[in-house]
Amino acid sequence: MEGTRTRDDGLPDRLTLHVGDEERLFERARTRSHPNELVVSPVELHQRNVQRRLREARLPADAFRFADPVEICLRVLEAAGRPTAAVDRVDRLALIRSMLGDEPADSPDDPPANLSLPTGPSSRDPQRVEQIRTEAEAITNFHPERIAAWRKTAGEVDDPIDDESRGLLDAALAVERELRDRTAKPVSETALLRRATRSIAATNGAAWAEAHPNAERLTLLGLSSLSAPHTDLVNALLTATPVEVHVHFRAGTGEYLRRRVPDLLAVDDPGTVALSEAEALSGTEASE
C-alpha cells in the first residue's frame, strides 16, 4: 500500500512515504536513462534483494546507485574536507572497559570514570553500557530538543519508571561525553552521520551536491523503524537540497511510523548535539 502524501499531512513537499510498495521503484527502473537515484538501506540484505529482482525482471542493473547511510555520508564529509575515520565497536568497548576500570587505561591521564550507571549486575558490563548509549543515540541523536522531550516524558510517568528512564538517559550521555574525552576521533559511525548532516545544512547543500552531483532522488528502503540520525539526515536534505526523498517502511510497523514522521522531523538544526541537561536547555552544542 502506498503512503500517499496530502497537502495537509504535515510533510515536506519533496518527501513521500510508502508502506511497502517497492514496485514503484522497479517502475522507475524501466524508464531510467541514467542512474540519478540513490537507493539506501541500513541493511545490506534489502539492497541485494532489489538487485536480484532487477536481474529477474531483466531491468538495467545500473538503474540505481546503491549505498548505505554511512557510505553516502562519508562522501559528503570528504567533499567538505572533514575527517572520515571513526572509532569502531571493538575499540569503543575497550574504551568503555577502561572507563569502568576493568581494563588498563591508555595513559595515566585516563583513570576510571565516575559514571552514573543503572543498578544491577549488568550495569558494569561494557556491552550493556554500549547498548544503553547506542539506543539513546538512535532515539535522540543527542539533539537538545529530543533530550528535553525525553526528560519531560520521563517526568510524566509513574515511579519507578520515571527514575529509570532518566537514569538511562543520564548514563548514555555520561558515557558519550567520556568517550569523546578519551579519543580525538568521532566515537561512532553515527557521529559521522551527524557531521555530514551538519555539513549539508552549513553549506546550504553544496557538500551534498559535490559528493552526489547526479542524485535527484534518495530512496530509503526496508525500514522497520526510522532512527533519529536518519531522520535528521533526511531533514537536512529536504531543507538544504532539491533532492526528492522516498521512504519505504516495512508492513508491520509502517502505518504507525508514517503517522509519526511529522513529529520526528519537527526539530530545528538537525545534527546539533547536546550532552547535558544544561546544554539541552540552553541550546549549546557539544563539540564533535
Q: Are 194 and 288 in contact (CB under 8 A)?
A: yes
Cell triple for residue 36?
A: 540519478
Going by their DSSP bridges, the two strands 37-40 and 15-19 should be labelled as unpaired
Q: Look up the pTM and report it.
A: 0.86
Give the C-alpha distances (Å, rounded to integers) separating 8 from 5, 11, 12, 13, 281.
8, 8, 10, 10, 31
From first to last of its 288 residues, what are the pLDDT tens digits of the chain? 344 443 346 788 899 998 877 777 777 777 666 778 898 987 777 778 888 888 888 877 777 888 889 999 999 999 999 999 999 999 999 999 988 886 555 554 555 566 666 655 556 789 999 999 999 999 999 999 999 999 888 777 666 556 788 888 988 999 999 999 999 999 999 999 999 999 999 999 999 999 999 899 999 987 888 899 999 999 999 999 999 999 988 887 788 888 889 988 999 999 999 876 566 555 566 767
Q: Is 20 left (phi over 0), alpha (psi -120 to 50) or beta?
A: left
Q: Are 147 and 280 in contact (CB under 8 A)?
A: yes
Helix 251-265 with 228-240: angle, nearest 10 deg: 60
Task: Look up residue 27 and give its amino acid.
Answer: E
Closest to 40 (Cα-Cα) out of 285, 184, 247: 247
Place of cell 536513462: 33
Given this model, what pLDDT does residue 137 score?
96
Given this model, what pLDDT does residue 271 score?
94
- In sequence order, which ranges of the chain are alpha helices (DSSP H)? 23-30, 44-56, 69-79, 89-100, 126-140, 144-154, 161-182, 189-202, 206-211, 228-240, 251-265, 277-282
Q: Are 245 and 39 in contact (CB under 8 A)?
A: no
* Host H or E run for residue 110: none
